[in-house]
Amino acid sequence: MKIARWATQIQYSMIALALVTLCISQSQAQNSQSTMHHQMVSSQSSQAGALLNIVRQSTARFKDVSVAEAEGYSLQFGCVSGPDSGAMGLHFVNGAIVASGVLDATRPQIVIYEPQPDDV
């Protein structure tokens, strides 16, 4: 009788050990996946931040519409607004850059301006 009880206790101990081992391995796998996901998101954020900086630096000179016009941009779309949507701004397009088919963050195809009440 004592041997049977002892054998049962060993079985329960082995089952408990197996469950603990399984939980630990799943936890480690989740931590590994979480770490990889965090690294990938961090890398994407870093790349997006770098692209944003390039775009900001490349478009800073266009604060004055005359600069855009001097670089070959011309007004293609006037400001459009409606009762259920906001205004879209004045779209100045550089046809040569658009026609080239090349996307380059340092050379925008279109720059958009917001008309102001004091604009002529």
- pLDDT, one tens digit per residue, over 31-64 is 566 666 566 666 667 778 888 999 999 999 999 9
Mean model confidence pLDDT for the chain: 77
| 22 vs 107 pLDDT, higher one | 107
Distance CA 74, CA 97 (A): 12
Residue 11 tokens, joined: 């079985």
Whether 32 contacts 81, CB under 8 Å: no
CA 37 to chain centre: 14
Position 48 scores a pLDDT of 81
- Average pLDDT rounded to a whole number, residues 2-27: 60
In this prediction, residue 66 carries a pLDDT of 94
Higher pLDDT, 110 or 9: 110
Question: Is 68 exposed, middle or buried, given 0-12, 13-18 or 19+ CB atoms closer than 10 A?
Answer: buried
Alpha-carbon distance of 120 to 113, in angstroms, equals 14
| Residue keyed to tokens 């800073």 | 60
pLDDT-based confidence at 118, cuts 50/70/90? confident
Q: Which sign does the torsion angle of CA 29, 32, 38, 39 carry?
A: negative
